[in-house]
Amino acid sequence: MSADTVDAAVGTIRGRKKVVAGVVGGALWLWLLARWAAHNTLLDSVFTAIGLPDLIRSEVRVGAREPWIPAEPFAAVAEALGGVAAAVGPAGVLVEWLAWPFELAAFATSTGPALAAGAFITVYLTVISMAFGLVIAVPLAVTRVYGGPISSSLSLAYTELIRGTPLLAQLFFFYFGLPLAGLVSGIGLMELPGAPRSAAVVAIIAFTVNSSAYQAEYIRAALQSVDEGQLTAARAVGLSKREGIRHVVLPQGLRFAIPGWTNEFVYLIKYSSLAAFITVPDMFRRARDIGSDTFQYTEIYVVVGLCYLGLVLTTAIAMQRLEDRVALPGVGTSTGRE
Amino acid sequence: MSLLRVDSVDKSYGDEPVLHDVSFGMDRQQVEVIVGPSGSGKSTLLRCVNRLTEIDSGEIYLDDEEIHGVDENELRRRVGMVFQDFNLFAHLTARGNITLGLREVLGLSKAEADAKADDYLDRVGLADQADSYPAELSGGQQQRVGIARALAMDPELILFDEPTSALDPELIGEVLTVMKDLAEEGMTMLCVTHEMGFARSAADTITFLDDGEIVERGPPEQLFENPEHERTGTFLGELTGLHQ
Amino acid sequence: MEPAVLQASDWGFIFANWQTIALGVVVTVLLTATSLTLGFALGFPSGAIEVYGEGWLAEAVSTAGVLLRGTPIVVLIVLFYFALPIPQLGSLPVVGVKVDAFVAATLALGLRSAAYQAQVFRGSIQSIGEGQLEAARSVGMTKLQAIQHVVFPQAVRRSLPGFQNEFTIVLKDTSVAFAIGLAELLTRAERLYLQPGRDTAVIEVIIAISAIYFVLTFTTNRTLDYIYSRYAIPGGNS
């Protein structure tokens, strides 16, 4: 594997492009956070409990939520340009193209509340699955590298099986194949306010299993890139093998794994969109529903594509800064999803 | 008539002056050794001669022709170069390393190029390694292939950029032997090296470069026995002590 | 739905429908092949342009790469399917796949793969030491000759592991063409268990096709490993 790519997970973003991505992405995040807060159940109950004014409206259904940015100005511009296009005749095609971004903006603002609600699910699916995945991945990787013949082959088999089959098939397996959804709603936990729906829980299970295998691979490669002499030196000062791994190899290896881990984070933001196919109302599912309601497929998919791009680019840039901060001087490896 | 004439050459990297007012000339079949502390501009000077590095001002003549008026590829065909890190083409065999230039630059047929490559490999004592890849060869062997690669282009002048600095001590000898043979055969050589034994026995002229300027230049006996400048004596003394 | 039990009759159902599954495999393999070919044809030049190109072309290639790598594959597939004016060309014979869906999926998977392959190739080119280019120039080769005969042959070899990754990713992601109803392996599998009274076979069908995907990725990976070792530079670690 090439160990030379040190760029962000989606490629080199620099100069003007980085500024644009940072500013637009920052604005997107501000808007998202505000929208999430405005309709958050938990926050609503807190506000009610301590007697603050009823600013948080978690009771409003997603479909009934009002956009904050008015669509009218964009629509007006688009209409005006459309008028110009009609007036200039054949050359009007160019003007019509100019009008399109404004039509798109008008459409985007009207779909904003639904997409924001979906983005909330996209983000928590990703973050929770990455975290749980990491908890499984570390022992998997350590077992693979330092375990006995049986445990290391079991670890290998797990990662190979998961990485050798499509994520969508895994989602179907857990959702349609295993009665997990029924089990989850049977527990009754799901009745709590703000708790995810059972399909979302199944998605988190599937993503956790999937990303644990990929994360384990990054960590394994990183552990193996730690010089063998390090463990020998640890043993030489009297640490047990376990202590040596714990205190000497892992702190270095996990640092090496950070670039790969960043990549995995970005991958999971994108692949979390597949949860839509097991009925989870994530950002992509919301977009698909809007598409079939309005028949404006092209428009909604462009809009949702840009939203994903915003999430992905801001994450990649933020992770890059994190990497730069925690990097040990002079070392580091990076790999892509295999 | 000089084969190579360097005239008032200046070169700096940004604000960092590397070469200042460097002038010297060398005749055909001469061996010139440039010595000097690291960072003195020796390698830069060498690279200016085949235009891997471009000078800021001054002139360099090859065969009385200013080299900036010559096509750079044509110039490099006429001026060979041997690198400190060998820089053998990693994906090609020893023979392939030599034939690539012969075929692509000189337009030789495969048969002609192969024959010529084998001939030159034989001259550097590696006839039996023609089919080996660089990573299968020792450092000394790699550098000998590097020399054969430069030689095979029939250059008028070969530049040696610290050809033994990257080698383990026990491998230096085989490369120096090849270089001495070349010198005896009358190859024109401009060498940057710290090998004082080679400089003393093979060089016609030694140039001592320090801080981008030529401090002193003359035959080996003069620089080793009677240096005009104290700096020269100190530097050569240290190197000689170090290597012998 | 009854809790799934691995029933013999359900496995029998799968074997009875082996033709449906086989056709799905054919479509999946075909889609992988067309997408990878497109990805290779565009990705390698793009990687070279990102290293050696300048001006608006390099800028455009790099921007397109970020856009393609930053968007989920499912969004790309549906976007290409709905937004591009791909003519309705009917169905492919034998495999029964709508041509427009196949073209849209190929474009989405292929262009995305090109963006990743460009990165792989770019990284490989940049990993070739400057000395290799200098050595080539020092015997009088032009920059173009040096790139063609010295840099590219080494960079392509170093790209093989990355290309292997890409192969696996594309093969697995052909399943996302499910989103536009393309009759590849996963879509056909779903159609099988959606037949009336066949919902007990869900888990068996999914296990069966997962096994097929696994065998496909595994065998191809081993084959590529072999090719890689075959064409590796002897003694080299690249």
pLDDT(C224) > 90: no
Tell me which residue in A274, A301, A336 faces C83 most closely, judged by beta carbons: A301
Reported confidence tier of residue A331, pLDDT bands at 50, 70, 90: low
**What is the tens place of the pLDDT at every residue in C89-112?**
777 776 778 888 899 999 999 999
- Of residues A19 and C71, more confidence is placed in C71
- Of residues A199 and C16, more confidence is placed in A199
pLDDT(A279) > 90: no
Partners of A298 on chain C (C-beta within 8 Å) are 79, 82-83
B161: closest CA among B87, B86, B83, B85?
B83
What would the mean pLDDT of B54-73 be, rounded to a whole number? Answer: 90
The helix/strand/coil state of B171 is helix
- Of residues A174 and C10, more confidence is placed in A174
A–B touching, 3+ CB–CB pairs within 8 Å: no
What percent of chain A is predicted at pLDDT more than 90?
Answer: 29
B22: closest CA among B39, B1, B40, B2?
B40
pLDDT(B42) > 50: yes
Tell me which residue in C136, C138, C235 faces B50 most closely, judged by beta carbons: C138
What would the mean pLDDT of B112-132 be, rounded to a whole number? Answer: 94
**What is the tens place of the pLDDT at every residue in B208-239?**
999 889 999 999 988 888 888 888 888 888 87
pLDDT given at position C238:
45
Helix axes A250-271, A198-225, angle to 10 degrees: 140
Phi and psi at residue B20, to the nearest 5°: -135, 120
What would the mean pLDDT of C189-215 be, rounded to a whole number? Answer: 84
* Lookup: tokens for A191: 């009745």
pLDDT given at position A189:
56
With left for phi above 0 and alpha for psi between -120 and 50, is residue B63 left, alpha or beta?
A: left
How many beta-carbon contacts under 8 Å exist across B and C? 85
**What is the tens place of the pLDDT at every residue in A249-272?**
888 888 888 888 888 999 999 999
Q: Find residues 129-148 of chain C whose CB sits inside 8 Å of chain B.
A: 129, 131-132, 134-142, 145
Range with the poorest average pLDDT among A183-197, B127-141, B152-166: A183-197
Q: Chain C interface, mutation test: which of B53, B73, B91, most C Cβ atoms within 10 Å?
A: B91
pLDDT given at position A203:
93
What strand order describes the sheet that includes B157-161? Answer: B79-82, B157-161, B189-192, B31-35, B205-210, B213-218
* Lookup: tokens for C219: 């065998």
Mean pLDDT of chain A: 81
Range with the poorest average pLDDT among A23-37, B85-99, C56-70: A23-37
Is B221:B214 a contact under the CB 8 Å cutoff? Answer: no
Range with the poorest average pLDDT among A2-16, A173-187, A292-306: A2-16
Judged by CB atoms closer than 8 Å, whether chains meet at C207 and A173 is answered as: yes
Q: Chain A interface, mutation test: which of C75, C156, C207, C220, most A Cβ atoms within 10 Å?
A: C75
Pairing of strands B65-66, B79-82: unpaired
Query: In whole angstroms, what is the distance from residue B10 CA to residue A8 CA?
Result: 41
pLDDT given at position A330:
55
What would the mean pLDDT of B9-35 be, rounded to a whole number? Answer: 91
pLDDT given at position A75:
75
Place of tokens 């749980």: A132
pLDDT given at position C161:
85
How far off is chain B from C144, nearest CA to CA, in Å? 11
DSSP assignment, residue A217? H
Report the helix count and the strand count for chain A, using DSSP H and E: 13, 0
pLDDT given at position A58:
67
DSSP states along chain C:
-PPP---HHHHHHHHHTHHHHHHHHHHHHHHHHHHHHHHHHHHHHHHHHHHH--HHHHHHHHHHHHHHHHS-HHHHHHHHHHHS------B-TTT--BHHHHHHHHHHHHHHHHHHHHHHHHHHHHHS-HHHHHHHHHTT--HHHHIIIIIHHHHHHHHHHHHHHHHHHHHHHGGGGGGGT--SHHHHHHHHHTSTT-GGGHHHHHHHHHHHHHHHHHHHHHHHHHHHHHHSPTT---
* Lookup: tokens for B106: 């000189």
pLDDT given at position C169:
93
Reported confidence tier of residue B130, pLDDT bands at 50, 70, 90: very high
Is C207:C11 a contact under the CB 8 Å cutoff? Answer: no
Q: Chain C interface, mutation test: which of A5, A20, A126, A165, most C Cβ atoms within 10 Å?
A: A165
What is the four-CA torsion angle of C33, C36, C41, C44, rounded to 10 degrees? -150
Which homologous superfamily is B4-91+156-243 in? P-loop containing nucleotide triphosphate hydrolases (3.40.50.300)
pLDDT(C130) > 80: yes
pLDDT given at position B80:
93
Judged by CB atoms closer than 8 Å, whether chains meet at C67 and A309 is answered as: yes
pLDDT(A215) > 60: yes
Segments making up each domain of chain B, as ranges: 4-91+156-243
Phi and psi at residue A131, to the nearest 5°: -65, -50
pLDDT(A148) > 70: yes
Reported confidence tier of residue A195, pLDDT bands at 50, 70, 90: low
Q: Calculate the alpha carbon distances from B76 to B6, B189, C129, C180 in Å.
A: 16, 14, 20, 58
Partners of C141 on chain B (C-beta within 8 Å) are 73, 100-101, 104-105
Query: In whole angstroms, what is the distance from residue A28 CA to residue A25 CA?
Result: 5
Q: Chain B interface, mutation test: which of C125, C132, C138, most B Cβ atoms within 10 Å?
A: C138
Tell me which residue in A5, A276, A301 faces C123 most closely, judged by beta carbons: A5
DSSP assignment, residue A8? B
Which homologous superfamily is C8-231 in? MetI-like (1.10.3720.10)
Domains of chain A: 15-326 (1.10.3720.10)
* Lookup: tokens for A151: 């445990």
Beta bridge partners of B16: B13
What would the mean pLDDT of A127-141 be, rounded to a whole number? Answer: 94
pLDDT given at position A337:
53
How far off is chain C from A242, nearest CA to CA, in Å? 32
pLDDT given at position A4:
31
What would the mean pLDDT of C202-225 be, rounded to a whole number? Answer: 90
**What is the tens place of the pLDDT at every residue in B178-200?**
999 999 999 999 999 988 889 98
DSSP assignment, residue A328? P
> Which residues fall within 8 angstroms of residue B172, CB to CB, at 6 or more apart?
B140, B164, B195
Mean pLDDT of chain C: 87
- The angle subtended at Cα A257 by Cα A254 and Cα A259, nearest 5°, is 135
Q: Calculate the alpha carbon distances from C17 to A241, B120, C184, C221 in Å.
A: 53, 68, 15, 28
How far off is chain C from A299, nearest CA to CA, in Å? 8
pLDDT(B46) > 50: yes
Query: In whole angstroms, what is the distance from residue A211 CA to residue A219 CA?
Result: 12
What percent of chain B is predicted at pLDDT more than 90?
Answer: 67
Reported confidence tier of residue A328, pLDDT bands at 50, 70, 90: low
Q: Find residues 31-70 of chain C whose CB sits inside 8 Å of chain B.
A: none
- Amino acid found at B138: S
Reported confidence tier of residue C147, pLDDT bands at 50, 70, 90: very high
Place of tokens 């012969």: B102
